[in-house]
Every structure is written in C-alpha cells, then in structure tokens.
Structure 1
Amino acid sequence: MITLSKGGAYLLNGNEVIEVGDDSEEILKSKLGQNYLTKEEAAKNTMAYNILNSHNTSGNMEKLQIKFDKLTSHDITFVGIIQTARASGLEKFPIPYVLTNCHNSLCAVGGTINEDDHMFGLTCAKKYGGVYVPPHQAVIHQFAREMLAGGGKMILGSDSHTRYGALGTMAMGEGGPELVKQLLSQTYDINMPGVIGIYMTGAPAKGVGPQDVALAIIGEVFANGYVNNKVMEFVGPGVSNLSADFRIGVDVMTTETTCLSSIWRTDEKIKEFYDIHGRVDDYKELNPGAVTYYDGMVYVELDKIKPMIAMPFHPSNTYTIDELNANLADILHDVEQKALVSLDGQVEYSLQDKIRNGRFYVEQGIIAGCAGGGFENICAAADILKGNNIGSDEFTLSVYPASMPVYMELIKNGCAADIMEAGGVMKTAFCGPCFGAGDTPSNNAFSIRHSTRNFPNREGSKLQNGQISSVALMDARSIAATAANKGYLTAATDMDVEYKGRTYHFDSSIYANRVFDSHGVADPDTEIKFGPNIKDWPKMEALTDNLLLKVVSEIHDPVTTTDELIPSGETSSYRSNPLGLAEFTLSRKDPEYVKNAKDVHKAEQIRVSGKCPCEHSDEFGKVWNGLKEAFPEMNINKETVGIGSTIYAVKPGDGSAREQAASCQKVLGGWANIAHEYATKRYRSNLINWGMLPFIYEDMKLPFAKGDYIFVPDIANAIKEKKSDITAYVMNGTEKKKITLKLGEMTDDEREIILKGCLINYNRV
C-alpha cells in the first residue's frame, strides 16, 4: 500500500524509479549515456526547486530568501498580523492579501468581539488595499483554490493547512510574523529544503476517497519524520487517475505529515479546474525533469488502499476500517492506553461502550471544511445516502460545503436535498468542526469527521471540566456509509452504490456580489474600526546581556501540539487581545502555567521599573543574591540580567501555524523554550519572531525540573557571535550545575530579532 525508500532515488521520464544503491550509478549511466546527470544536477529538476528558484531573491539556492505572490489569512489570525504590521510601519499591502472569515464566523462566544474582528478586517482591506471574504462565503483554503492559486506561483498563509500543490502552487502555512515580513516587503528565509517524491501508481478502488489515501500516507511517514520540513512532490502515472478534487483532498492533509510544502505534477484535469473557475490562463503544466533526483521516495499503490480511520488523538494513529472492525476490543484498548498520555489522566476515558452487538457505534458524523467540504466528496456522500436515512437515535450528521459556490451547485444538482432527506443537516462554510468550535458532541461520544485534525479538545470538550469526547478522521464516503447504517462503522467499499460523477459548475457571481476586492488600490483615508477587544501588543523588552530563566512548565509527552500550548475552540474569540488570550495558555495541559509565568514576569517588571528584582519575593531575593555570590566576576545587576520564564517540552509545535502558541508565552514574560527537538519549522520560527530563544537540550535526562532557575550568562554576545552551543547553569542557591543548550542555525535577521526582543521591535521606526 505505502512503502518508503531507504535513501535517495532517481525518477526517469516520470515513470521509472531507481533507488540509490551500490550499483545505481552504473545503471543510470548505462540507461542515460551522455544524458547522465549527477545527483546535484538532477536535484535541480524537481518542480519544487524550479518554483523556489523563481521566487528566491538571495542569488543562493542553498540560502533562500523567498518573496511570495499572494497572502491569505482568516479571522483568528489576521487581526494580530495587521496589528503587528501596523506597529512596524505598514502603509499598504504590497501584494494581494486575502482576509477570510471562516473560523470565528458563528459569533457565538464573547459578545460582539468576533464580528468586531470582521469589521476590523473589512476596514483594513479598504485602507491597505486587500480582499475581504465575509463570513459563511468560503473557508480560507477553498477560496484560495477557486480564486488565488496559479501554476508555478507561491502563496503564504497564516493557517497550517495552506496547501495548493495539487493546482501547481507551492503554498506554505506559517505563523503570522512571517506574513508580516511579506507585508513589509521582507523575505521568508530558509535553507533549501529536501524534496521527497510521492510516486503514485494505479487507481483508487470504488468507495476509496482522498482522505483514505492521505491517512495511509500520514500513518507511514509522521512518526519517523520521513518528510519533516521537506517538500512532498507528487509524481508517477497514478496522479493522472485522480480528479482535481481528489488530489486537493490528499494535498491539504500533507500538513499532518509535518512537511514544509507540497507540489504535484499538473495535467488536463487541473487545466479543466482552472477553466471551470474562469481562470484557465492561471494554469501551467508542471512536470519533473527527464532525470530527477529525490531525497527519498514514498511509493503509493492507489489500488491497494482501503478505507482508513485515524483513531484518537492524532491523524497518524491509523488503521483500515476493516482492521478496526475485525479487532475491535484490542485496538480500542490500545487507543485507551495512548489516551493516558494525551489526556494526562485528567478524565476517565474508555471506548468499550462503543461496542454494541459486536459492532462499533459512533454518535456523530461530520463532513466539513478544507478537507471534507469539496464538491466531489459531498456528491459521493449524497449518492451513498440516497434512499437511506440516519435514523432517530443518537447518531447525527452535519455537512459543511467548503464554499457558497459549492453549496449552490449541491442545491442545483439535488445532492443537498438527498442529504437532508436522509436526516443530515446542511450548514454553511465554517471551519469550526476542525478546531473545536462547532458540532461539539456529548460527553464520551465518538465523532467521525472528514476534517483535518483529531487532537484532544478539537471536538470542543474540556478536560478541566471533566468533559471528553473523541474524534476519528475518515473519508466522507465511509462517513456516509456509516450514516446509512445509522451509526455503525462501515467502510464505503462495503456499500453497493452507483456514483453519478456529477459535473461541477462554478457560479462566479456569488463572490462578485459579496466579496470586497480593492484590486490592490489602498484608501488611506479609511478609518479602521476597532472593537473593545482589539488590543495593541504590549511593550516588549530587548534582550539583556544575561538571562535568568525559571522553568515554569515541564511536559514529557512525545509530542506537544500547538492546541496544547494555546487551546483552539472558543478561546479563539480572544485572539485579538494578546493579554486576554494569554490567560488560556497551556490551560488544558498545565493549569498552573499562567499563574507561575505571571509570577516570574512580576520580577522582570520590577527590574524594568528600575528597582532590584530581589524585591519581588524572598525566593527571588535568595536566587538573586545567590547569583551574585556564584558569579562574583560578573556585574550582576538590574541592567544586565533580564528575567523570564521558560517551558520544557520534548517535541513542541506539532499542528497549527498559530503564532499565539508563542506570543502568549511572550506576553506573559517568556524568554525561551527548551526542547529535545521542535516538531515543525513553523513553531520554531514563531518563537524567534516573538523574541524567544529556541533552545535545544539533546539529552532526554534533564538536569533541571519545573521550579528550577537557569542562568544564561553572556547570551546577547553569544547571539551576536553566532554561537550554536550556549553555556548555562542550573542554579541551586550559590551552587551551579553547568549545562549546554543549543540554538541551532539562525539567519542574521533572526538573531537581530532575538536581540531586539521581537519582530515588532526589529521593524519599529
């Protein structure tokens, strides 16, 4: 089904793979003759290399400085981005910037604050020359597919699932500060990423959908980091057997592999997609070169993939549905054991009651958002449901088309009626079921969803209130099959269905009538509307010569998601209020974090006010005096030693691109993270852009614990001198234990951002 090469591989003429081995060079030379290319030459023939090359401004393909063609954000992220850019001197959006409203669009929590954010977005689109997509019109990524993508182009979005590779667009999801840099005509700076070929053969079986293919890939490559921070390049003859919608459905889920970006070869089916949307001129045929080298190869035999399910609480926790149904008790027990880690034992968690008469029963089905809400997915679900009904027991079904044009076509072709007649509910374009703000099931309920993630709390439950429910990821087809069997888990391949294969017709008038498009013309006289919850970023201090850090949280889970660092769901209503949102930091993982971080921050505020931080408390007095005694050769005083908090996590940052996972720590006085490794480039970049040191401690056995103080002398000079190894000391009174923290590679600009204290300070005139 899915296999991985052990090393690099060559792709010849798009259809023959030769893995690197002892005799691979001889084989290549005999096949290619004078057309033989070295590994370095052949690596330049990837689609990814050529798109990056055309957008790189550095002149050095090893050290990229990328300028994107377009930007996109939604209503959880655009307020903070624009506020940061305004504080940094923004006058006009220099490239097209689209503000969609698909996350806080229900306006159900926090009084007026969500709609206030929307009005902020509309007035900023007018003032700075952007595009504003009102609530319920489209989810961020569907609008980008329909209206923004273009062959050979690059798009940067402040949402982790910014993936338009199936349409020939290299797209990346990053934290807000990276978009701020683009708004200030700066660059996205990375080393040339590795490129992994995704070699597809065959064609999917009837009833197998894009989520099945995506989950099969994620299950094989997530845990081993095979594509981590690399570009996934989809090639091979099997690509031609997939429709545009099918490719899009696989592509959007590549984020869950922790890859950097994705790109697919394009053909007439993608050209047809652009033509349907009235943008055929934006199509560009993309193919790898005749001889192309990849850093690894993932072989995907499409015909062997079966309907899949990703069990709680991660998209990589995958099984075939047949496997789960055949081994229910054992697999459910395994999931329960894994949940002990994910849930920290905060609630009792059991799935055994889901076994009814030997079958697996679920209470809810959701088909939604950028992954599930596509036209073909919903049409296939309607075909399965026609003539069936979901029953009148616990099971419910909700369907969210990804855009109003898709919804309109479903109404016109009768699919919406078939779904509603079966007992399903049709809803508008909304990302809520993906991030915990819509269709929250009952306590202990089990929800199957064609959406992007199933982390803890993504379904809306609150561990601190004793509430827990579960989400498993599945394809829309198998969700519909389960719905047709009234909640009993069923693979779509077990259903005898005639799929009608309806044709999509895009109605451009829907957007023409509702979307505000400045066409790049700014109106400086427009007054921005600020709601009472939209607050400026608090002042942030520059890095001092030395740092005293207190470890205020210690997390030993194998992976820590951004949802655990700053919860999604209803907390997102406070995303425009930095201090208000910060109150939720780590609230579901370490409820004591905010109190402990604030306590440390008080000592820093005392220092900044010109007083000795020793006045904060007896504990700080002892630590401060201990520092002076332990380092008599250093000038320990309030001007030279800054004070902040830090957290330790084994592998933080999996999941969302949300910058608030870092900024919330910063506004509470955080100066660093310490990790064994960082799950994504996105999270590490967010730390740096908010002036936080992304320390690495390589040994899993820690010399410090929660509550300990770590002194980092001469840190400012270490940054200036580009040191990677940083000497630090774990303090116990006057005793000091020497440790080595690593910083890893940083650009000159990133070092300057750290020294200045944050990106705002770096850019502020």
Structure 2
Amino acid sequence: MVKLYEGGVYLRGGKELVRESEATAAGIAATPEEARQGTIAWSILQAHNTSGDPEALKIRFDAMASHDITFVGIIQTARASGMTEFPLPYVLTNCHNSLCAVGGTINEDDHVFGLSAAKKYGGIFVPPHIAVIHSFMRENFAGCGKMILGSDSHTRYGALGTMAVGEGGGELAKQLLQDTYDVAYPGVVAIYLTGAPRPGVGPHDVALAIIKAVFAKGYVKNKVMEFVGPGIASMNTDYRNGVDVMTTETTCLSSIWATDEDTHAFLAMHGRAADYRELKPADVAYYDGCVEVDLSSVKPMIALPFHPSNAFEIDELNENLEDILHECELAAEKVGGGRAHLSLTDKVVDGRLHVQQGVIAGCSGGNFGNVVQAARALKGANTGCGEFSLSVYPTSQPVALELTRQGYVYDLMEAGAIVRTAFCGPCFGAGDTPANNGLSIRHTTRNFPNREGSKPGNGQLSAVALMDARSIAATAAAGGVLTAATDLPDETWDESCEYRFDSAPYDKRVYWGYGKAAPADELIEGPNIKPWPAMEPLADDILLRVCSKIMDPVTTTDELIPSGETSSFRSNPLGLAEFTLSRRDPDYVGRSKAVDAIEKRRVAGEDLAAEPELARVFQALEGAGVAADSAKTEFGSMIYAVKPGDGSAREQAASCQRVIGGLANVVSEYATKRYRSNVMNWGMLPFQLAGEPCFEVGDHLFVPGIRAALDGDLADVAAYVVRADGTVCKVSLYVADMTPEERAIVKAGCLINYNRAKAGL
C-alpha cells in the first residue's frame, strides 16, 4: 500500500522511479546535486529566496494568514518592534474562538481588535463563522508558484501549487517587519502516487495511510513532500486538498503537488485563472527519498487515540477489536495520570464497536466534496435518537451556500445531522466535546490528548479517533456502529460533484483592507489584551533550575500549552502562562514562577547567593573547582523533554515558558522546526543532550560563557549539574545549527528586543 525507499531516487519523465544506486545503469548522468534542481520545490523556493545562496534560504512570502488565537500576539509583537503598515496581504480569520462561549467578552474583544488592526495597518479581516482559515486562503490566495506563511500548523496549500508553511508568530512578525524566513535548503521527498482510490475511500484514508508509514521513522521530518506520479489525475483538486492538509501530521516542513487542468479549473472557478501555471518536475529530478503510494490499495482507515499515526484499516480493527482497543486503554491510563479513565472495550457490543459521536469539520473534513459524500450516504437514512450524534461544519460560507443550493444540507438535516457554521473548534477541543468516557470519530486533523476538550486532571477523559467523512457517514447511518464506507454499495459513492463558487458571503462580509492602511485609526483593545512583558538580554553565564522533566517519547504542543478553553487567554501572555503544562505537569507553573521571582530580585540588584538554596549551588560549584560569579549569573527555569513540539505552530507553547521565567529547553531532539523556532524567537536556548539526562526536577545546571559560546559552533557547550545532594557532574550540551540572526535574537533576550534594537527604538 505504502512503500518507503531507502536512499535517494531519481524521477524520470514524471513516471519512472530510479534508485540512486541504479542511476548509471539506467542511463542517468545527472548528479544528485544537479538533478535536485529539477524538483518543483527547488524552483519555488529559489524564486522566493533573497539570500543569493541556494543553500541558506531567506524567504519572503507572497501572503500570510492568522486566526484569532494567534493574530493579536503577532500584531502586538510587530507593533512593539516598529511596524506601521502590513507590507504584504495579511489575512486575519476568526475561526478558532468563534463561539465566544468562555471568558465573558474576551474572545469577541479579540475579534474587534482584529478588525481595528486590519483598518489601521491594511489587512484583510474575515469575521467569525464566515470561513475556516485554510479554506479562505485556498479560495482567495493560493496559486501556482506562490508561498504563503501562516501561524497555524496546517497551513498547507500544496495541491494548488503553493508551498505553504505553518510557523510560530515570531516568524510572521519578521515578515511584517520585512525581514525573512531563514532556513537551510530542506530535503525534498517524492510522494509518488499510482492507481486510483476505490469507491468509498476518501482523502483522510489516503493521508492516514501515509502518516502511519512515515511518522515514527521521521522519514519526512522538516522536509518538503512533493506529490508526483500518475495517481494525481485520479483525484479532483478538492480531494487533493484533503490529503494535502494532513501532511502537517508527518512533521514535514511543507508540501507541493504537480498541477494539471483540474488545478486550473479550481482556480478559474474561484475567479483566479491567472494564478494557474503548470508545475511538474523536470525530465530528470532527484529526491532525497520516496514514498510510493498505490491509491487503489488504500482501505478505509481509523486513527485511534492519541495520534494520527496510530492508524489501522477499519477492517483490521474490526477483526482485532479487543486487542487493539486494550492497547489504547493502556495509553489512556497514562494520559489520565490516575485521575481519569477511559474504557473502550466496553463499547464493543455483539462484536461491533459503538461510538458516541461523529464530527465532520474544519480544513480537512468540511470541504465540499467530503460533505457531499456524507450527504449522499445519509440521504433517507436515520442517525437515530440514541447516544450517537453527528455534527457537520462546512468549511466556509460559500461551501455552505452551494451545499444548500444543491439540497445536500436538507439531506443531512433530514437524516438527523446537525449542520453548523465554519469553525475549527472540534479540531482543538473547543466544540462538540463528547461526554466523559465517550469516543468521537472525526474528520478533523488531530486526535491528541485533550483535543476533544477533556480535562484528565479534573477526572474527565474522552477520546477522538480520526476517520474520513465517508466512513463517518456510513457509521452514522448505522446509528453509531463503526462501519467502513466500503461496506456500503459502490454506487453510493460518486466523487464527481459539481461545485459553483459564489463569492457573495466574502464580498459582503469580509473587510478587504490591503493597501488601505489608516495609521491615524486607533487599535481597540479589550481588558484581556495585554502587551508582551519586557524580557532581559542574555547574561554571560546562566543558572537553570530543572522545573519539569518529561520522559514521554513525544511531547505535543498541546501538552506544553493546552488548547480548548485556554484559548480565551491567548491575548494575555501572563494569564495564558498559568496553564503551561497544566495537563502534563500541574506543578510546573509554581516552580517556574518561583525562579522568576528570584531572577527579578537579581535584576533589581540582589545577589543570587542571598537565596539560601542558590548559595548552596554556588558553594557546590566552587567546591568542584568551577568558577561562578553569582552576581553576574542569570537565573532561569528549564524544561527537559525527550522530543517536544509535535503539533501546533502556536508560539505560546514557548512564550508561556518564557514569560514566567523560562530560559532554556534541554531535549534529545525537537519534534518540529516550528517549535524550535518559537523557542529561539522567545529568547530561550534550544539545548540538546545526547543520552539520558543525569538530573531531576529541582536540580540545577550552570552554563558558563553561554553568550560567548553563541559566537562559536555550539557543538560542545560545557554545563555543570548541581544535584540536590550537592554533588556536581559535568555534561556536554549542544545546539544544532543556528543562523546569525537566531543567535542575535537569543542574545537580545527575544525577537522584540532584537527588532527594537535594530530599529533604534
């Protein structure tokens, strides 16, 4: 079904794969260095590169997008750094905090701020319930050969010929200040598609099959996934969009697809035929790896809790229900931490798994084609009056308008489904929260712990399994009994569906302000909107207290800063920071704030050695022969995690650590580039450590000469662990490649400090 190649491959004529080791015998004379310039990714990246060095990219994007969990902080950062106008189209959508159900006026105040910022700085403002961020960008901005940057990790428009990147807010602030996105030229992996999906198999099935194959191996981590091969033609563009948006869950950097006349038709239908051009690899192109996918072999999939890579064929699950569900229950015990429990095997009745909820929503599930297929399967059906319920969220008002015009909304509602407005909430725990101990099947992007809204610390735990809209509809028609779409007759499924885009909802409700900045206008800031607190520059020496140690194989950004109702405080840095690690290590915030209080006294003139516990640390260092001047040492907190940062691009995963005293992460590896970038943009050191950590929570790490070390290669940074018993041991930390700008940002204390100094503010 999905095959991973070892080593590099050549693609010849767009259809023939040749292993690098067999290139000479196959008559390919081009070296890998020469032939990699034949990829689609090379041409787009170099067209946007301003550095003059094809290996060290400095990218300027064509457009940007943010939603209402992130745009306030980004604008506040850029504003504090001297920005006076948006220099490129910047779309502010309101699709995450749309419900305004928590925190009084907090969420709507953010929306009012967004509109005032769009008017003041010249932005594009999409009001609540009008469109999901990625639907709006596909419909209005994505085009062949373009690059788009978004502050949401699922910023993916590769099927429309656009290389899109999801990053933390600091990277968007840089673009607003007309700086660049700096990254080494990434590896490019071919996703070679053959065959055609069988009836009932949808884009989520294809995506989950790929994620299952590549995630654990890190096969495409921080690389570009380039979709090529004859199988592309078997899918319409809407279907391709559904596959593409899920590439984020592989931990890749970006994605791009070969384009064709169907791409052209999609863009033309949206009034942007001029944005089309054919994109395809050169006659000979070299890739750093290859994922070969036979689409005809893909079956309906289900990704069980608690990750999209925990995927199985639905048939396979049904044949091994007890064993597979028991493994999930063991994982749930870890998530519950002894405070909450989830049982799944008790949901098996007469050999069939019964689920409690279905949701089709967001940038992956709410696409027109997915909802049409669900409506066709449910036409004349009955979802039942029992525990099971189904909610459907069309991804934009134009999509909802066309679904209504063609009668599909009627078919869904007549069957018992609830049709809602465009909203991202079910993807991150702010909408359609199932009951405690419930299992929800969703065509959304993620099923991490707490992504369904549960609170294990309060004894509340439910779970999400990811499925395609087609199988969710088949399950709904069966009253909640898990059913693969392919169990229905083939004639149920007809992927051809006529779509007519009507821009009226956008013409009448969206504020199109790019190029119309009104500097005299005032920003409207509600009581919860707070500026970023001041950060101090990095000292020559630093002392870190270990405030959390997480030995899980992977730590998601949702564990670092929970999504869901905490989103109400996204515009209040100190308010949001109170939730840092709250569902993983509830004592972390108190520990880190205690460190921050001591550091604030140091900045005010107090010697660290005046603190009894720290006095013992410095005495232990002196006794071990390590020179340490307590009066000149900066004190901060530190998190150790094996592999943090999988998931969301939200910069708050790092900034929340920083504003309550965080000064460094020490890790085995970073799960994603975007989280590591957030760490550096917030002035924290992105340390790595080979082997097992030799420290525990409450121990200290002294790192002398760190400011000077940032001028070197950072391959061996000496540090000294001072344990609670007073013993001292030396460890070697290291930092992977940092650009000169990243080193300067960390020295300055954060991106805002760096930019203000550069602007002479």
TM-score by length of 1: 0.97
Give the secondary-structure state (helix, strand or coil) at the position aligned to 2:528: coil
Give the secondary-structure state (helix, strand or coil) at the position aligned to 2:115: helix
Distance (whole Å) between structure 2 residues aligned to residue 78 and residue 648 of structure 1: 29
Q: Which residue in the other structure is 2:602 paired with?
A: 607
1:631 deviation in Å? 5.0
1:352 deviation in Å? 1.1
The letter for the 2-side match of 1:106 is L
Q: Which residue in the other structure is 1:519 paired with?
A: 514
The Cα offsets for residues 652-709 of structure 1, whole Å up to 9 and x where unpaired, read as 000000000000000010000010000000000000000000110010x221111101
More displaced 10-residue stretch of structure 1: 714-723 or 354-363: 714-723
| Residue 576 of structure 2 is aligned to residue 578 of structure 1 | no
| Residue 620 of structure 2 is aligned to residue 621 of structure 1 | no
Aligned counterparts, 1:530-679, within 5 A: 530-616=525-611, 618-628=612-622, 630=624, 633-634=627-628, 636-638=629-631, 640-679=632-671
What stretches of structure 1 of length at least 5 have no aligned partner? 30-35
The letter for the 2-side match of 1:9 is V
Question: Is the Cα contact below 8 Å between 2:174 and 2:181 reproduced in 1?
Answer: yes
Q: Which residue in the other structure is 1:113 paired with?
A: 106
Distance (whole Å) between structure 1 residues aligned to residue 333 and residue 709 of structure 2: 41
Distance (whole Å) between structure 2 residues aligned to residue 456 and residue 80 of structure 1: 25
Q: Which residue in the other structure is 2:27 paired with?
A: 28
Distance change >3 Å, CA 711–CA 239, structure 1 → 2 = same
The Cα offsets for residues 412-464 of structure 1, whole Å up to 9 and x where unpaired, read as 10000000000000000000000000000000010000000000000000001
| Residue 439 of structure 2 is aligned to residue 446 of structure 1 | yes
1:725 deviation in Å? 1.4
Count of matched residue pairs: 754
Q: Which residue in the other structure is 1:85 paired with?
A: 78
Question: Is the Cα contact below 8 Å between 1:550 and 1:646 reproduced in 2?
Answer: yes
The letter for the 2-side match of 1:4 is L
> Paired residue for 2:693, among 691, 702, 710?
702
Q: Which residue in the other structure is 1:9 paired with?
A: 9
Question: Is the Cα contact below 8 Å between 1:76 and 1:575 reproduced in 2?
Answer: yes
1:611 deviation in Å? 1.1
Q: Which residue in the other structure is 1:217 paired with?
A: 210
More displaced 10-residue stretch of structure 1: 353-362 or 495-504: 495-504
Question: Is the Cα contact below 8 Å between 2:337 and 2:456 reproduced in 1?
Answer: no
Question: Is the Cα contact below 8 Å between 2:237 and 2:263 reproduced in 1?
Answer: yes
Question: Is the Cα contact below 8 Å between 1:342 and 1:557 reproduced in 2?
Answer: no
Question: Is the Cα contact below 8 Å between 1:142 and 1:402 reproduced in 2?
Answer: yes
Cα RMSD, aligned residues only: 1.2
What stretches of structure 2 of length at least 5 have no aligned partner? none
Give the secondary-structure state (helix, strand or coil) at the position aligned to 2:38: coil
1:632 deviation in Å? 6.7
Distance (whole Å) between structure 2 residues aligned to residue 730 and residue 665 of structure 1: 21
Question: Is the Cα contact below 8 Å between 1:214 and 1:250 reproduced in 2?
Answer: yes
The letter for the 1-side match of 2:689 is Y
Question: Is the Cα contact below 8 Å between 2:61 and 2:147 reproduced in 1?
Answer: yes
1:625 deviation in Å? 4.1
Question: Is the Cα contact below 8 Å between 2:194 and 2:231 reproduced in 1?
Answer: yes
Aligned counterparts, 1:155-170, within 5 A: 155-170=148-163
1:223 deviation in Å? 0.2
Give the secondary-structure state (helix, strand or coil) at the position aligned to 2:290: strand
| Residue 354 of structure 2 is aligned to residue 355 of structure 1 | no
Q: Which residue in the other structure is 2:711 paired with?
A: 720
Distance (whole Å) between structure 1 residues aligned to residue 20 and residue 329 of structure 2: 41
More displaced 10-residue stretch of structure 1: 736-745 or 567-576: 736-745
Distance (whole Å) between structure 2 residues aligned to residue 326 and residue 691 of structure 1: 51
Q: Which residue in the other structure is 2:505 paired with?
A: 510
Q: Which residue in the other structure is 2:43 paired with?
A: 50
Question: Is the Cα contact below 8 Å between 2:192 and 2:293 reproduced in 1?
Answer: yes
Aligned counterparts, 1:159-558, within 5 A: 159-496=152-489, 497-499=491-493, 501-558=496-553
1:724 deviation in Å? 2.5
> Paired residue for 2:734, among 739, 742, 749?
742
The Cα offsets for residues 8-52 of structure 1, whole Å up to 9 and x where unpaired, read as 11101000101122x4322234xxxxxx32211110000001000
Q: Which residue in the other structure is 1:32 paired with?
A: none
1:347 deviation in Å? 2.1
Question: Is the Cα contact below 8 Å between 2:57 and 2:185 reproduced in 1?
Answer: yes
1:558 deviation in Å? 0.5
Give the secondary-structure state (helix, strand or coil) at the position aligned to 1:99: strand
Distance (whole Å) between structure 2 residues aligned to residue 19 and residue 168 of structure 1: 26
More displaced 10-residue stretch of structure 1: 340-349 or 52-61: 340-349
1:630 deviation in Å? 4.5
The letter for the 1-side match of 2:10 is Y
Give the secondary-structure state (helix, strand or coil) at the position aligned to 1:486: coil
1:332 deviation in Å? 0.6
Question: Is the Cα contact below 8 Å between 2:608 and 2:630 reproduced in 1?
Answer: no
The Cα offsets for residues 319-366 of structure 1, whole Å up to 9 and x where unpaired, read as 000111111101111222233444444422321111011100000000
More displaced 10-residue stretch of structure 1: 331-340 or 293-302: 331-340
Give the secondary-structure state (helix, strand or coil) at the position aligned to 1:366: strand
Distance (whole Å) between structure 2 residues aligned to residue 563 and residue 530 of structure 1: 27
Give the secondary-structure state (helix, strand or coil) at the position aligned to 1:263: strand
The letter for the 2-side match of 1:759 is L
Give the secondary-structure state (helix, strand or coil) at the position aligned to 1:82: helix
Give the secondary-structure state (helix, strand or coil) at the position aligned to 1:288: coil
| Residue 680 of structure 2 is aligned to residue 688 of structure 1 | yes
Question: Is the Cα contact below 8 Å between 2:609 and 2:630 reproduced in 1?
Answer: no
Distance (whole Å) between structure 2 residues aligned to residue 606 and residue 184 of structure 1: 34
Give the secondary-structure state (helix, strand or coil) at the position aligned to 2:27: helix
Give the secondary-structure state (helix, strand or coil) at the position aligned to 1:26: coil
Give the secondary-structure state (helix, strand or coil) at the position aligned to 2:440: strand
1:210 deviation in Å? 0.1
Give the secondary-structure state (helix, strand or coil) at the position aligned to 2:358: strand
1:125 deviation in Å? 0.5
Distance (whole Å) between structure 2 residues aligned to residue 406 and residue 312 of structure 1: 30
The letter for the 2-side match of 1:760 is I
Distance (whole Å) between structure 2 residues aligned to residue 357 and residue 633 of structure 1: 70
Distance (whole Å) between structure 2 residues aligned to residue 227 and residue 323 of structure 1: 26
Distance (whole Å) between structure 2 residues aligned to residue 722 and residue 92 of structure 1: 37
Distance (whole Å) between structure 2 residues aligned to residue 537 and residue 667 of structure 1: 8
Give the secondary-structure state (helix, strand or coil) at the position aligned to 2:34: helix
Question: Is the Cα contact below 8 Å between 1:630 and 1:734 reproduced in 2?
Answer: no
The letter for the 2-side match of 1:535 is K
> Paired residue for 1:730, among 721, 728, 733?
721
TM-score by length of 2: 0.98
Question: Is the Cα contact below 8 Å between 1:651 and 1:676 reproduced in 2?
Answer: yes
Give the secondary-structure state (helix, strand or coil) at the position aligned to 2:25: helix
Distance (whole Å) between structure 1 residues aligned to residue 600 and residue 290 of structure 2: 52
The letter for the 2-side match of 1:2 is V
The letter for the 1-side match of 2:259 is T
The Cα offsets for residues 505-559 of structure 1, whole Å up to 9 and x where unpaired, read as 1111210100001132210011100000000111101000100000010001100
Question: Is the Cα contact below 8 Å between 2:336 and 2:461 reproduced in 1?
Answer: no
Distance (whole Å) between structure 1 residues aligned to residue 618 and residue 33 of structure 2: 54
The letter for the 2-side match of 1:719 is L
Q: Which residue in the other structure is 2:752 paired with?
A: 760
The letter for the 2-side match of 1:14 is G
1:629 deviation in Å? 5.1
